[in-house]
């Protein structure tokens, strides 16, 4: 099951990130996970929350450029080679990972990793066939 | 000829528009008669003009033919600044019923004045502008030009009332409210800067309003900044309206100097009130019809502040062929750029419009941008800052870097100059009167 992630464009200047976080906090948006990918000049802030549409609206109204994309959250066994076993499934199906990052919370003893693939639908099918646990929004954010 | 006295769209009689169809020889007679009067008025009442005439040994009586306008001295924007506020007025203040001013981005503002008669002429040319674009009584017109000292808002206002349409004097700003008003008030026509209207199309989409399905807007007149055919195409396809170009400048009268008819092939100049010349901006010699040059305007009927041979800095060309609409007013091509916007970097002449063309090769609508010129160890550097919009944004860094490279490459293709493209957050480029300041030249700033 795919989950909506919001990406926000940020210039690399001091205070930009905290200003955005304050905006979200003031609007009562609770962030479940937050990660920043940067070049030297700018960054893309990727965030997940229970209500992505509201988050996007709040962010855009505050004057930021934002876009919504779909990602998947997978259960990755917390043991040596755990991540490698997941990646191998994708490799055999010739699917590449655009980016990935760790979700802030863990599931039981295992890690939760967020993935963006070049072909999301094929990736999902392959992962589910291989028995990898794909989280739903309810799993991550509660009902 | 009689047929032409009727409006081209629905056969309604518009007496004001009859002047648009005045036979060419009669029009030249009117122009000559008025040019003589304007020259005499300026010579009698405006000391600066008299000094310049005397310096070149010219007298108002030397004007015998329209071509003799070249005997008269040019005037420039700086004259209005030097004689701030009323130094170029030709009537006592008791005759002046209206003042407008332009906010000076550099130095002092300029002030312009109108007599009651000038106000009437202004209203008439705006009415002709609106009729030519198919506006009429029954239209509900949302006027988004700024009201106040800027000539745009109030200038169009009087003409909209003049044709008997309903005017909504909303002025600029507060985009969501603009869209709400457009929908709730059943607006059928708009007046705006093109870039602001493009912004509203995006705002409407964000609010879930479909321009074509939910709104009744059919036409708009757009001006106060240079724009491109590509922008017109975008406006017309995205909003389903017809977009017409209008031209004017405060120093001459405000909006109402020239406007497009429904043929959309250049702007008819209201030649009975404004005498136009196109000159080479470097030599100031006239160029032949069809060739590009700087537009120079002489006001033919203005009383409060006659302006002789004003260098507009706008680059255009006279369209030599007659227009299919039958108007006898000659046309100028869409103003593509301004001669004073041009900057020279590493020996290459660059116009902001070239940067716009380059950005539009990559994006469907023109993003807000700013050109920043700096100098480091004697070497000029051009940076183009582009505001990222939601439409441009990707969640992948590689795509954003690709966008940056595509911008830089198309700028390089057009200007043959290497550019650093910087992506910046929305709203970070300063705006003035709805227009961003396009070029920031920091080359002489201490680093
Ligand atoms: Zn025409």
What are the CA-CA distances from residue B355 to residues B142, B326, B419 (Å)? 31, 36, 10
Cα–Cα distance measured from residue B20 to residue B27, given in angstroms and rounded to the nearest whole number? 9
Is residue B172 scored above 60 in pLDDT?
yes
Q: Is there a contact between A65 and B389 if contact means CB atoms under 8 Å apart? A: yes
Is residue B8 scored above 70 in pLDDT?
no
- Provide the pLDDT for residue B107: 56
Q: Which residues contact B185 (CB under 8 A, 6 or more apart)?
A: B140, B142, B168
Residue-wise pLDDT tens digits, A46-55? 999 999 999 9
Which domains does chain A possess?
2-70 (3.30.2130.10), 72-141 (3.30.70.260)
- Provide the pLDDT for residue A97: 93
Token pair belonging to B305? 């502040």
Q: Looking at the partner chain, which of A7, A63, A99 has a beta carbon nearest the beta carbon of B393?
A: A7
The residue whose two tokens read 């646990």 is: A133
CA distance A71 to chain B (A): 10
Give the chain A residue whose CA is nearest to the CA of B176: A61
B352 against A23, higher pLDDT: A23
Is residue B141 scored above 90 in pLDDT?
yes
Q: Which residues contact B174 (CB under 8 A, 6 or more apart)?
A: none
Of the given ranges (B51-60, B226-235, B385-394), which has the lowest mean pLDDT? B226-235
Contacts of B175 in chain A (CB under 8 A): none
Query: Mean pLDDT over residues A99-106, rounded?
Result: 87
ipTM of the complex in this document: 0.89
Q: Is the CB of B392 inside 8 Å of chain A's CB atoms?
A: yes
Q: Which of B387, B389, B390 to mutate to test the interface with A (most CBs of A within 10 A)?
A: B390
Q: Is there a contact between A66 and B423 if contact means CB atoms under 8 Å apart? A: no
**Where residue B224 falls among pLDDT bands split at 50, 70, 90?**
confident
Q: Looking at the partner chain, which of A16, A39, A66 has a beta carbon nearest the beta carbon of B393?
A: A66
Residue-wise pLDDT tens digits, A17-43? 899 999 999 999 988 888 999 888 899
**Where residue B7 falls among pLDDT bands split at 50, 70, 90?**
very low
**Where residue B103 falls among pLDDT bands split at 50, 70, 90?**
low
Query: Mean pLDDT over residues B426-438, rounded?
Result: 69
Cα–Cα distance measured from residue B224 to residue B213, given in angstroms and rounded to the nearest whole number? 29
Query: Mean pLDDT over residues B164-191, rounded?
Result: 96
What are the CA-CA distances from residue B208 to residues B97, B205, B215, B345 (Å)? 45, 5, 12, 44
Q: Which of B389, B393, B401, B428 to mutate to test the interface with A (most CBs of A within 10 A)?
A: B393
Contact B415, B358 (CB under 8 A): yes
The fraction of chain B above a pLDDT of 70, given in percent, is 94
Query: Mean pLDDT over residues B89-99, rounded?
Result: 98
- Provide the pLDDT for residue B446: 60
Is residue B136 scored above 90 in pLDDT?
yes
What are the CA-CA distances from residue A66 to residues A5, A27, A106 (Å)? 10, 16, 27
Average pLDDT, chain A: 91
Give Dmax over CA atoms of chain A in angstroms. Answer: 45
CA distance A110 to chain B (A): 26
Q: What value does the CA radius of gyration of chain B take, rounded to a whole number of Å?
A: 23
Looking at chain B, which residues constitute the CATH 3.30.300.30 domain(s)?
A: 343-441
What are the CA-CA distances from residue B136 to residues A99, B5, B131, B265 (Å)? 57, 15, 6, 21
The DSSP code for B372 is E
Is residue A93 scored above 80 in pLDDT?
yes
- Provide the pLDDT for residue A141: 85
Q: What is the DSSP string of B177-208?
A: HHHHHHHHTT--EEEE-HHHHHHHHHHHHHTT
Looking at chain B, which residues constitute the CATH 3.40.50.12780 domain(s)?
A: 1-339
The CATH code belonging to domain B343-441 is: 3.30.300.30
Query: Mean pLDDT over residues A71-92, rounded?
Result: 91
Average pLDDT, chain B: 90
- Provide the pLDDT for residue B11: 52
- Provide the pLDDT for residue B357: 84
Q: Is the CB of B205 inside 8 Å of chain A's CB atoms?
A: no
| Residues belonging to chain B | 447
Nearest to B299 by CA among B286, B312, B289: B312
Cα–Cα distance measured from residue B158 to residue B235, given in angstroms and rounded to the nearest whole number? 26
Is residue B378 scored above 80 in pLDDT?
no
**Where residue B393 falls among pLDDT bands split at 50, 70, 90?**
very high
Token pair belonging to B314? 């706008």
- Provide the pLDDT for residue B432: 56
- Provide the pLDDT for residue B56: 94
Is residue B5 scored above 50 in pLDDT?
no
Say whether domain B1-339 belongs to CATH 3.40.50.12780.
yes
Count of other CB atoms within 10 angstroms of residue A27: 14
Q: Which residues contact B184 (CB under 8 A, 6 or more apart)?
A: none
B50 conformational bin, left if phi > 0, alpha if psi -120 to 50, beta if neither = alpha
Query: Mean pLDDT over residues B301-324, rounded?
Result: 95
The fraction of chain B above a pLDDT of 90, given in percent, is 71
Residue-wise pLDDT tens digits, B261-304? 999 999 999 999 999 999 988 789 999 999 989 999 999 999 99
- Provide the pLDDT for residue B385: 95
Residue-wise pLDDT tens digits, B17-69? 889 999 999 999 999 999 999 999 999 999 999 999 999 999 999 999 999 99
A33 against B346, higher pLDDT: A33
């Amino acid at each position: 099951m795919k989950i909506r992630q919001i990406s926000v464009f940020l210039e690399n200047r001091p205070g930009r990130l905290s200003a955005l976080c304050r905006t979200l906090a003031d609007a009562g948006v609770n962030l479940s996970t937050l990660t920043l990918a940067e070049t030297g000049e700018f960054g893309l802030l990727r965030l997940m929350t229970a209500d992505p549409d509201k988050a996007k609206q709040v962010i855009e109204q505050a004057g930021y450029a934002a876009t919504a994309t779909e990602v998947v959250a997978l259960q990755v066994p917390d043991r040596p080679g755990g991540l490698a076993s997941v990646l191998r499934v994708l490799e055999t199906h010739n699917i590449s990972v655009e980016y990935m990052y760790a979700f802030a919370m863990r599931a039981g003893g295992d890690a939760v990793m967020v993935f963006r693939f070049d072909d999301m639908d094929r990736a999902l099918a392959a992962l589910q066939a291989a028995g990898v646990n794909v989280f739903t929004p309810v799993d991550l954010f509660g009902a | 000829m009689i047929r032409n006295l009727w409006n081209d769209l629905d056969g309604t009689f518009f007496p004001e528009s009859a002047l648009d169809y005045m036979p060419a020889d009669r029009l030249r007679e009117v122009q000559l008669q008025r040019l003589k009067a304007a020259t005499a008025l300026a010579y009698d009442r405006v000391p600066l003009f008299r000094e310049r005439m005397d310096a070149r040994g010219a007298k108002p009586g030397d004007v015998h033919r329209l071509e003799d306008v070249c005997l008269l001295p040019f005037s420039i924007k700086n004259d209005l600044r030097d004689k701030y506020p009323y130094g170029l007025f030709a009537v006592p203040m008791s005759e002046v019923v209206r003042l407008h001013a332009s906010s000076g981005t550099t130095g002092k503002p300029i002030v312009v004045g109108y007599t009651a008669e000038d106000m009437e002429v202004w209203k008439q040319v705006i009415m002709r502008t609106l009729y030519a674009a198919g506006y009429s009584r029954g239209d509900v017109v949302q006027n988004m030009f700024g009201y106040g000292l800027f000539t745009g808002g109030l200038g169009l206002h009087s003409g909209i009332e003049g044709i008997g349409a309903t005017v909504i004097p909303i002025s600029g700003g507060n985009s969501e409210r603009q869209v709400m008003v457009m929908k709730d008030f059943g607006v059928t026509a708009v007046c705006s800067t093109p870039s602001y209207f493009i912004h509203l199309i995006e705002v409407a989409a964000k609010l879930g309003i479909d321009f074509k399905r939910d709104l009744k807007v059919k036409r708009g007149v757009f001006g106060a900044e240079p724009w491109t055919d590509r922008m017109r195409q975008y406006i017309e396809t995205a909003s389903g309206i017809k977009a017409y170009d209008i031209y004017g400048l405060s120093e001459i009268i405000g909006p109402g100097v020239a406007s497009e008819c429904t043929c959309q092939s250049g702007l008819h100049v209201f030649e009975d009130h404004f005498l136009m010349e196109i000159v080479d901006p470097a030599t100031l010699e006239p160029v032949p019809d069809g060739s590009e040059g700087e537009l120079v305007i002489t006001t033919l009927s203005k009383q409060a502040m006659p302006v002789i041979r004003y260098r507009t800095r706008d680059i255009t060309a006279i369209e030599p062929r007659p227009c299919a609409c039958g108007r006898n007013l000659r046309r100028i091509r869409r103003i593509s750029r301004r001669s004073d916007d041009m900057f020279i970097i590493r020996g290459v002449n660059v116009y902001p419009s070239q940067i716009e063309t380059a950005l539009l090769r990559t994006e469907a609508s023109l993003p807000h941008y700013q050109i920043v010129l700096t100098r480091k160890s004697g070497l000029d550097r051009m940076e183009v800052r582009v505001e990222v919009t939601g439409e441009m944004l990707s969640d992948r860094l590689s795509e954003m870097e690709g966008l940056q490279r595509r911008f830089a490459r198309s700028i390089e293709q057009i200007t043959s100059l290497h550019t650093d493209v910087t992506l910046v957050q929305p709203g970070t480029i300063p705006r003035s009167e709805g227009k961003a300041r396009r070029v920031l030249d920091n080359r002489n700033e201490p680093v």
